[in-house]
Structure 1
Amino acid sequence: MSGKRAVFFWAALLGMIISGLNGTAFAGGERAAIFRDGQRLVEAYPEAGFSLKEADDGLYVAGEAGSFLFSPWEGCPKALPDDPADAPLCAMLAQPYPVGDGGRYPAPGVDPGRVRNEAFLKALYGKDAVDVEKGLESVAFLGEVWKFSARHGAAEALRRVAATLETAAAHDPKLKAYILPGGGTYFWRKIKDSPRLSAHSFGICIDLNIEKGLYWLWHPSAGTVAKTRRDYPQAIVDAFEAEGFIWGGKWHSFDFMHFEYRPELVGRGGKAASR
């Protein structure tokens, strides 16, 4: 082999080795991220007894209630299936939820927490209306009483929110106009024009005063939405987020009245979820 050809040969071989090492490092980093997010989901619901299980096709969240694909090894799919309720569990965490001041109106398609795996929620809160209702209990909420799921700390979290808002409203009475009358909690139903169940079906959501709660199908004006989002009391949002709830006001498909117990996105009991 001539000197020039030898140089080309060894340079090509070195390039292949480096490329292989980089690919291995990338795959290792991707897998570590999948495990990290999967563990975050498991830790959000300790009562469920889930653990992470490796399989040829990906990482699973598994327990007595069932086994659910968290993510394929190649990473969380960028495109959702035709029915988002069938998406792998990683899709529920794919968009980071912005705790605190939400900033500007989210871009189209930015709806953190709006993707829900229906089979997973059924495993957590009940497979049908009868099963869900067995887990409901009454929660006193600023003079009203609402049914909420006692499973996985949801009802206790709502009680802590109520106590925080009672104190806040005593110092700022204007807050009550945004809270009361409440719009509802548990209601087993499908989302309008969709085969999917509403998250209200699982007793993990509360709608506050509908008159103060813009909804994307009712109020399409982006200018109105941006102003209302700025004017919505941050004290209310903070009280819910501190206890594991997300706010529909941080979705592009906005729902200002809507607060939903999703500790995998914002932490549980005041402890922010790490990412």
Structure 2
Amino acid sequence: MRIFTLFAASALLFSHLSGNPQCYVEGYNDLIASADENALILKDGTKFPYHTDSSKSSWEDKINNADLATQLIQSYDAGGSETPPPYLFDPGRLRYQPFFQSLYGKNKKEIEKNLVTITWPTLGGSVKLPVNKVGGVDKKLYAIGQEISKLPKRDRIWAEGATTYAYRVIKDTDRLSMHSFGIAIDLAPAKTQYWKDEAASETAHIGYKNTMPLSIVRIFEKHGFIWGGRWYHYDTMHFEYRPELLASSCVATAK
């Protein structure tokens, strides 16, 4: 497994200036009624503005005040290579929290009502993991586990130590982790890499490191999960369900 260091990061902040609102409809077709440049409407009638008035002039503004438009401003490169991402290129890391709260549960109590348990295969047997059932996330993660179980042992070992639901904020922020919604999973936490082990500042220039095999990554991506190893702020153990970024009208062309 190769480990990369980014010596001279690109100054490219966004490779795409805006995303297509239809990515949301395509990604969550059983949950979203419509979306355009003005608003997104869930099938239960909940309506969100596509753009909010909060400042988004700096990187810190974007990550702390993201709206639905901001979520799609960087196109995810599904199936791409292990090339280190450009400076501040984090497709999927800019999140509009109210959107996910409406889909999966507005608070801890509501989220936990939507949790079910799946069986996740391990080299020694299996473990039970709590996962959100809304939109069939549980079924997709179960299918991912079954596919990973067919990989060679040298790859499967990177799917050990799996953890899913934990109601908590992201380290050093007040933003909810995607684990709080039961739609994220971490694998091999003792052997993978996290950007904050190198630097604390969001705008620091950091080197890229990864040991997670792409054989596992591509299985996740096929089922609507993005990988934190495709972020400049790499989190190579982390996968989260984000089908809007993997919709055919939204995903970047694989290199």
1:57-80 CA-to-partner distances (Å, cap 9, x unmatched) read: x510023352212248xxxx6656
What SS does the corresponding residue of 2:38 show, helix, strand or coil?
strand
For 1:112-151, list aligned pairs within 5 A: 112-142=91-121, 143-151=126-134
Question: What does residue 104 of structure 1 align with?
Answer: 83
One-letter amino acid of the structure 1 residue matched with residue 127 of structure 2? E
**TM-score, L = length of structure 1:** 0.74
Please give the secondary structure, in 2, of the residue aligned with 1:194: coil
- Residues 1:52 and 1:101: Cα distance change in structure 2 (over 3 Å): closer
5+ residue gaps, structure 2, are 1-16, 200-204
Structure 1 gaps, min length 5? 1-32
Query: How far is 1:163 from its partner?
Result: 1.1
8 Å Cα contact 1:84-1:117 kept in structure 2: no
Q: How does 1:178-217 map to 2 (within 5 A)?
A: 178-182=158-162, 184-217=163-196
For 1:119 and 1:147, the matched residues in 2 are separated by 22
Q: Distance in 2 between matches of 1:178 and 1:90?
A: 34
Change (3 A) 1:102 1:93: farther
1:244 matches 2:224:
yes
Residue in structure 2 matched with residue 261 of structure 1 by the alignment: 241
- Higher helix proportion, which one? 1
CA contact (8 A) 2:76 2:251 kept: no
- The offset of 1:43, in angstroms, is 2.2
Alpha-carbon distance between aligned partners in 2 of 1:82 and 1:66, rounded to the nearest angstrom = 25
Deviations 1:152-196 (A, max 9, x none): 12111101101110111xxx11123211122x1111111122111
Amino acid of the structure 2 residue aligned with 1:216: W
Per the TM alignment, residue 47 of structure 1 is displaced from its structure 2 partner at its CA by 2.4
> How far apart are the structure 1 equivalents of 2:85 and 2:22?
27
Q: Report if the CA contact (8 A) 1:135-1:150 is conserved.
A: yes
In the TM superposition, residue 46 of structure 1 has moved relative to its aligned partner by 2.1
- 1:50 equivalent to 2:33? Answer yes
Question: For the Cα contact (< 8 Å) 1:102–1:250, is it kept in 2?
Answer: no
CA contact (8 A) 1:80 1:87 kept: no
- Structure 1 residues 148 and 255: alpha-carbon distance in aligned structure 2, compared to 1, 3 A threshold: same
When residues 274 and 260 of structure 1 are mapped into structure 2, their CA distance, relative to the original with a 3 A threshold, is closer
CA distance in 2, matches of 1:121, 1:130: 15
User: Does the aligned pair in 2 maintain the 1:68–1:88 contact within 8 Å?
Assistant: no
Deviations 1:176-233 (A, max 9, x none): 3211122x1111111122111111111110000112210111145956x34xx3x531
**Aligned pair 1:162/2:142, yes or no?**
no
Which of structures 1 and 2 has the larger relative contact order (alpha carbons within 8 angstroms, sep 6+)? 2
Distance 2:41 2:120 in 1: 35
Displacement of 1:101 in angstroms is 2.9
1:68 matched residue in structure 2: 48
Give the distance between the partners of 1:161 and 1:96, measured in 2 at CA: 23
Aligned residues: 224
Q: 2:72 touches 2:245 (CA, 8 Å); kept in 1?
A: yes
Aligned position for 1:19: none
